[in-house]
Every structure is written in structure tokens, then in C-alpha cells.
């Protein structure tokens, strides 16, 4: 695991965008694994700027997002589909047929999850996965548990996560109690991973990650078993 300390959020965002741009230049038809949340927003701004300046072409890129609330309609302004459309899809030349997010309103959840993993495999696997982290150490929506799940699956959100994510909703009771999430194996099969960590409230899970110990009570620590992870942490997270 390579850890890069960035001065602040802006530097972390620009560094992440440069790494994504490097991946796209190297392999124009690459498969990107994308994340939502406040952490990657600045990276998306930078990627959109690079595209608008003619520095990046997404026309052959495919994307798979990590997770989606369940149940939720994609038109709902709190859905992760809505987030991605606002921050990336509407700003760059990704082809609609190449964008993937688990369908949070699917009738048959099991089939939806199984098909999602199959689609990633058929696309050749994820070349570069972007991750954020929850303050309880979750990645995607793989919450701290005695057992973690390998493939894409439906999960019950923890109180911590509901509370943390309620800032985007009118009230805490509006936060969906479930989500569809990539599993730990779905994430670990990615060829490269960039984990973005920003802010004092993320210093605890970052500390746990850096001990090199692996525990399901902090799912991000599993990344210690992956051969190609870059952690981009800002000074607030590092020193917090």
C-alpha cells in the first residue's frame, strides 16, 4: 500500500484526477470503478475540467459504481445515480450504455446483484477503483460486521452510516435503511485501487488501516491484502 499525504482536499482531488487521467490515457477503453459521497466530488470537478479542456476523452471508458440506496428511484435527487449524473455523466462524453450503477429499484434484488458482478466480469474487470471511506471504516456499503460478503449484495445500513448520510436528506428518517453494494471480493478484484481519505473525522479508520492489521470490524483494513493500493490522505485525516 502506498500512502501519499496531500496538503488539503484540493490537492487530494487533483492528484486522484491525475491518476484517473493517467489510467484513461494508458487504456482508453478502461473500466473505472467509481464512488459517491463528498470525498470524490472535487475529483469529478477536476475530471470534468480536463475533459472540457480537451485533455481527456471518456468515449471508450466504462464505469461501474460501487453502490446505491435501496429502495430508491434513480430520479430521486438523493440517489447515487442522480449524484453521478450531476457530477460526471452530464459533464463528460461517457456513453450512456457504458455507465453502470446497481439498480436500487430492481424488483428481483438477487438477480440484480448477481448480474452486476457478471457485467463487471464481462467488461474485463475493473482497471482502477476509486474508493472513499466511512468514518466507521466501511468501503462502498460494506459495513463493519463479523462476516463480510464477497459479491454484490443488499445490506442493512448501520445507525452510524444513516446518521452520517442524513446530512444529504431532509431528515434522518428519510435515509433509506438498505443499499445494494459491491462486495469485498468485487472491490478486491480491481486491478488498482485509489482510496481517498479527507477530514479529521476519517482519521480513526485511517489509523486502523495503517496499523496493517486486518479486521472485519473495519472493512477498509482488507485493502492491506491488495497488491496495488494508493491511499491519498489529506493532512486533516493524517493528523486528525
Residues with catalytic roles: 67, 136, 138, 143
Q: Is the Cβ of residue 81 or residue 141 nearer to ligand GLP in the bound state?
A: 141
CA angle 226, 229, 233 (to 5 degrees): 135
Q: Which residue in the set 37, 102, 104, 183 belongs to the binding site for ligand GLP (CB under 6 A)?
A: 37
CB of 206 to ligand GLP, least distance (A): 12
Q: Is the Cβ of residue 66 or residue 232 nearer to ligand GLP in the bound state?
A: 66
Region from 10-18, 29-37, 119-127, 226-234 binding ligand GLP, contact rule CB under 6 A: 29-37
Q: Is 140 in the site for ligand GLP (CB under 6 A)?
A: yes
Q: Which residue in the set 34, 84, 99, 133 belongs to the binding site for ligand GLP (CB under 6 A)?
A: 133
Q: Which residue in the set 34, 35, 94, 195 belongs to the binding site for ligand GLP (CB under 6 A)?
A: 35
Q: Is 161 in the site for ligand GLP (CB under 6 A)?
A: yes
Neighbours of 199 (CB within 10 A): 16
Q: Is the Cβ of residue 31 or residue 237 nearer to ligand GLP in the bound state?
A: 237
Q: Is 13 in the site for ligand GLP (CB under 6 A)?
A: no
Classify 65 as helix, strand or coil.
strand
Estimate the share of the chain in helix, then strand, then coil, as percent rounded to the nearest 5: 40, 20, 40
Beta strands across the sheet bearing 99-100: 2-6, 229-234, 192-197, 128-131, 31-34, 62-65, 99-100
CB of 159 to ligand GLP, least distance (A): 13
Could you tell me which of 89, 86, 23 has the C-alpha nearest to residue 56? 23
For residue 170 the three cell numbers come to 431532509
The H or E element that residue 196 is part of is strand 192-197
Q: Is 141 in the site for ligand GLP (CB under 6 A)?
A: yes
Q: Which residues pair with 100 in a beta bridge?
A: 64
Q: Is the Cβ of residue 67 or residue 234 nearer to ligand GLP in the bound state?
A: 67
Q: Is the Cβ of residue 11 or residue 57 nearer to ligand GLP in the bound state?
A: 11
Neighbours of 174 (CB within 10 A): 10
The Cα-based distances of 101 to 160, 164, 229 in angstroms read 24, 22, 23
Q: Is 39 in the site for ligand GLP (CB under 6 A)?
A: yes
Residue nearest to ligand GLP (CB): 132
Q: Where along the sequence are the contacts to ligand GLP (CB under 6 A)?
A: 35-39, 66-67, 132-134, 140-141, 161, 165
Amino acid at each position: 500500500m502506498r500512502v501519499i499525504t496531500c496538503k488539503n482536499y484540493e490537492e487530494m482531488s487533483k492528484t486522484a484526477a491525475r491518476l484517473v487521467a493517467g489510467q484513461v490515457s494508458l487504456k482508453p477503453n478502461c473500466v473505472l470503478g467509481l464512488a459517491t459521497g463528498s470525498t470524490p466530488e472535487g475529483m469529478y470537478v477536476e475530471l470534468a475540467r480536463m475533459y472540457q479542456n480537451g485533455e481527456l476523452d471518456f468515449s471508450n471508458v466504462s464505469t461501474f459504481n460501487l453502490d446505491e440506496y435501496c429502495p430508491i428511484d434513480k430520479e430521486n435527487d438523493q440517489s447515487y445515480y442522480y449524484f453521478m449524473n450531476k457530477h460526471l455523466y452530464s459533464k463528460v462524453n461517457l456513453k450512456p450504455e457504458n455507465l453502470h450503477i446497481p439498480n436500487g429499484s430492481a424488483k428481483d434484488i438477487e438477480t440484480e446483484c448477481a448480474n452486476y458482478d457478471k457485467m463487471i466480469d464481462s467488461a474485463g474487470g475493473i482497471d482502477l477503483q476509486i474508493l472513499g471511506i466511512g468514518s466507521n471504516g466501511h468501503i462502498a456499503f460494506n459495513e463493519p460486521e463479523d462476516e463480510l460478503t464477497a459479491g454484490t449484495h443488499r445490506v442493512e445500513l448501520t445507525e452510524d452510516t444513516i446518521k452520517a448520510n442524513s446530512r444529504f436528506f431532509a431528515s434522518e428518517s428519510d435515509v433509506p435503511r438498505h443499499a445494494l453494494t459491491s462486495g469485498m471480493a468485487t472491490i478486491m478484484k480491481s486491478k488498482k485501487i485509489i482510496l481517498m481519505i479527507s477530514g479529521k473525522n476519517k482519521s480513526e479508520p485511517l489509523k486502523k488501516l495503517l496499523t496493517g492489521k486486518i479486521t472485519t470490524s473495519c472493512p477498509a483494513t482488507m485493502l492491506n491484502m491488495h497488491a496495488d493500493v494508493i491511499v491519498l490522505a489529506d493532512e486533516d485525516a493524517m493528523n486528525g
